[in-house]
Structure 1
Amino acid sequence: MPKPPATTVAVDGREVRVSSPDRVVYEATDRTPAVTKLAVCQYVATVGPVMMRSIGLRPTAMERWPDGWREGMRLAVGPQDRDADGFYQKRLPKGAPDFVETVRITFPSGRPADELCPTEPAALVWAAQMGALTFHPWPVRRPDVDHPDELRIDLDPQPGTSFADAQRVADVTRELLAELGLRGYPKTSGNRGVHIYVRIQPRWSFDEVRHAAIGLGRELERRDGGVTTAWWKEERGTRLFLDYNQNLRDRTIAGAWSLRARPGAPVSTPMSWAGLADVRDPRDFNLLTVPDYAADGDPWADMDEQAYSLEPLLDLWANLPGGELNWPPDYPKQPGEPPRVQPSKKVADHWDEQGNRIEK
């Protein structure tokens, strides 16, 4: 059977070519019909202008699912994981149109890369045509890619917790930020979690922003027993994990208005605080419903009007007990970092006071 002919999607005066437009990207669910590749590209074209407010000029990794997404499919955990169905595209592939721009970034290893840097909605539609469902923007903007302008608070539900728990903790976070003179902007994660962004002055390093997130997390732990900053899953229990390491270099979370690789084509959807409190099921915000929701106004429209200081959160980091926490395993061992071994497997005599293994 011959392939269906390619078509185009119009966005801001450009026509972006879409091949295999009838390919099913999301299968039908009891809540939503099947979603084609053309429908994905049309969604991105529709929300592209509002998405650009949050993703524009940012280095952006593409989470690509070239054959669509199905239950049971797996996202690659690294460049050598060649049997996975989806993968992160961190370098712009060859053959991109001239209007698709890049920005040079440096990974924690020191290796550089030219990553997608959206400057217009058409670049996002082109990425969707390449199989990108979720956009993962860095918390920096061109031309200063070494100083974040966003603190990102990732409230990640653990087994035994729910979206309602994330809503409750998000509201405690809102109150804490307000007490410190900061304003947070929430969004659904597209699954059970909540993300909160704070626009900050681009004066601090990635490591300092991470410490600010730890300080915030520790104060939240004091205020709500349902929050934890414990790195090891065995220590989290039935609490929401505040993933402080998401603020490090080359660590990203799903961008605002992005689709997620989940049943029913859910969207990571920006909210007002009142709107977040009213959500009963985050799956209600999906490819079919979000265009009308976005047409009613962007809840994050005024985010860039004020950039805040990190000092109140860095004060929490400096003054609350606890010290350094674990870094991701692909980072070098850091001064003061606890041992990189599960607590249940730790043998005290094998580690010194700085968390370094003692060679016997």
Structure 2
Amino acid sequence: MPDALTLAAAGPDGGTVQVRLSSPDKVVWPATDHGEGITKADLAAYLGAVAGPMLRGLADRPVTLQRVRGGIEGEEFYSKNPPKGVPAWSRTTEVTYPSGRRHPQLVVDDEATLLWTAQMGTVTWHPWPVRSGDNDHPDELRIDLDPQPGRAFADVVEAALGLREVMLEAGLTPFAKTTGSRGVHVFAPVRPELEFLEVRHAVIGLARELERRMPDLVTTAWWKEERGERIFVDFNQATRDRTLAAAWSPRILPGAPVSVPVTWDELVAVRPTELTVHTVPGWLAEHGDAWEGMHDQPDEVAGAYALWQADLERGLGELSFPPDHPKMPGEPPRVQPSKKVAEHWDEQGNRVEPETRPHQHGGAD
């Protein structure tokens, strides 16, 4: 194979753009017992095969790029700032992070930009749940069902089906996809009317309701020591600057598994380990894109947010934020429960330093 390939790809205006792919025979995913190794050229061919549905989930959104040097066994890093040398045909959008800091992120609107990001070592694409014209009001409600050790995929599917019922009752239309690992991602298209914190609270409302219905199967416990073998309903994936792997994106795992949208009937029968860069183009040709019309009729978040408000009336409050997020009002103490000393924390979750008392000296005046 030559030292570089020139690939013809669709650009933002529908015209053809030439994208240079260097070192096309470089191995990105080494061979495993389940499949041959995957080169940079193989990844580019895969992206060309799934570009249509993949771009439906990426286009017009800020995207964080999960990149590698030397393949998935080499250095891994995340690009939030656009990589150097962004092509003239691509664009960026400015986003605000939890710290209040702002800077641009790349928007992947077209096949040419998608292939260019692969040239830059990207293996997993992480879109924000917002559109570039309004980066503060999510148009997707996202929940990650994260199984703890000891749980089978069938258990996660059971939890996902339970979550589906809760979401339907709340007036949402849930869509499922495999994660490319052991879990399930459940999305719902929503009108971009609430900001991140409110959407996160709506997700917590859904998660707590699911936990009440399936207490032995799922948990909202943020600390791993409290989860046991239950499936964690990760509400913090709805937090600003938290993202999930894009639909149709490969994952940085051995064998190049892919996060694949499925119908609810398919979710019951699918074997996620069989959905890889090698096999997914065939899967797509046979099954189509289960998420094709996902955003045709977005829902309101009001029903889910009402669950949060009902829990507030029950005396339930805020849940923990990710450690890189600023301390929030009402947040529980950011300390592992087994290491918490109750008298060191106030009711708002703020640390209280013990009073310093002067040393008392004895003796006569």
User: Shorter chain as normaliser: what TM range?
Assistant: over 0.9
Q: Residue by residue, what CA displacement relative to the aligned partner does 1:225-266 show, whole Å, maximum 9, x if unpaired?
A: 211111111001101111111111111011110000111110
Aligned match of 1:215 = 205
Q: Residue by residue, what CA displacement relative to the aligned partner does 1:90-134 show, whole Å, maximum 9, x if unpaired?
A: 011221211121111111112211111012111111101111010
Contact persistence 1:10–1:45 (CA under 8 A): no
Is 1:356 the counterpart of 2:356? The answer is no
Distance (Å, rounded) in 1 between the aligned partners of 2:49 and 2:18: 14
Alignment partner of 1:46: what SS?
helix
Is 1:50 the counterpart of 2:81? The answer is no
Q: Residue by residue, what CA displacement relative to the aligned partner does 1:145-174 show, whole Å, maximum 9, x if unpaired?
A: 110000001001111112111111011111
For the pair shown, the structure with the greater C-alpha radius of gyration is: 2
User: Which of 287, 294, 315 in structure 2 is aligned with 1:303?
Assistant: 294
Contact persistence 1:9–1:45 (CA under 8 A): no
Aligned match of 2:68 = 65
Q: Residue by residue, what CA displacement relative to the aligned partner does 1:20-72 show, whole Å, maximum 9, x if unpaired?
A: 000011111111101101101111121111111111110000000121113xx
Alignment partner of 1:275: what SS?
helix
Paired letter, 1:180: A
Contact persistence 2:99–2:326 (CA under 8 A): no
Contact persistence 1:59–1:103 (CA under 8 A): yes
User: Which of 333, 340, 345 in structure 1 is aligned with 2:339?
Assistant: 345
Distance (Å, rounded) in 2 between the aligned partners of 1:287 and 1:10: 21
User: Which of 308, 324, 334 in structure 2 is aligned with 1:330?
Assistant: 324
Contact persistence 2:172–2:301 (CA under 8 A): no
Contact persistence 1:169–1:226 (CA under 8 A): yes
Distance (Å, rounded) in 2 between the aligned partners of 1:66 and 1:103: 26
Is 1:277 the counterpart of 2:281? The answer is no
Distance (Å, rounded) in 2 between the aligned partners of 1:332 and 1:109: 7
Paired letter, 2:122: A
Aligned match of 2:3 = 5
Alignment partner of 2:266: what SS?
helix
Is 1:26 the counterpart of 2:29? The answer is yes
Gaps of 5+ in 2: 11-15, 355-365
Contact persistence 1:184–1:198 (CA under 8 A): yes
Alignment partner of 2:71: what SS?
coil
Contact persistence 1:66–1:130 (CA under 8 A): no
Distance (Å, rounded) in 2 between the aligned partners of 1:156 and 1:150: 19
Paired letter, 1:212: A
Contact persistence 2:98–2:326 (CA under 8 A): no
Distance (Å, rounded) in 1 between the aligned partners of 2:37 and 2:141: 36
Q: Residue by residue, what CA displacement relative to the aligned partner does 1:69-99 show, whole Å, maximum 9, x if unpaired?
A: 13xx5xxxxxxxxxxx100000112212111
How far 1:15 moved relative to its partner? 2.5
Across the aligned residues of Structure 1 and Structure 2, the Cα RMSD in angstroms comes to: 1.2
How far 1:4 moved relative to its partner? 4.5
Paired letter, 2:328: Q
How far 1:208 moved relative to its partner? 0.5
Is 1:16 the counterpart of 2:19? The answer is yes
Aligned match of 1:162 = 152
- TM-score (ref. length: structure 1): 0.93
Alignment partner of 2:32: what SS?
coil
Distance (Å, rounded) in 1 between the aligned partners of 2:98 and 2:348: 22
Q: Residue by residue, what CA displacement relative to the aligned partner does 1:281-328 show, whole Å, maximum 9, x if unpaired?
A: 311111011112222321011111111111111111111242111111
Distance (Å, rounded) in 2 between the aligned partners of 1:205 and 1:165: 32
Aligned match of 2:112 = 122
Identity fraction in percent: 52
Contact persistence 2:256–2:276 (CA under 8 A): yes
Paired letter, 1:359: E
More deviation in 101-110 or 142-151? 101-110
User: Which of 84, 91, 111 in structure 2 is aligned with 1:94?
Assistant: 84
Aligned length: 344
Gaps of 5+ in 1: 74-84
Distance (Å, rounded) in 2 between the aligned partners of 1:221 and 1:90: 34
Aligned match of 1:230 = 221
Aligned match of 2:185 = 195
Contact persistence 1:9–1:42 (CA under 8 A): no
Paired letter, 2:351: R
How far 1:10 moved relative to its partner? 2.6
Alignment partner of 1:315: what SS?
helix
Aligned match of 1:254 = 245
Distance (Å, rounded) in 2 between the aligned partners of 1:32 and 1:8: 27
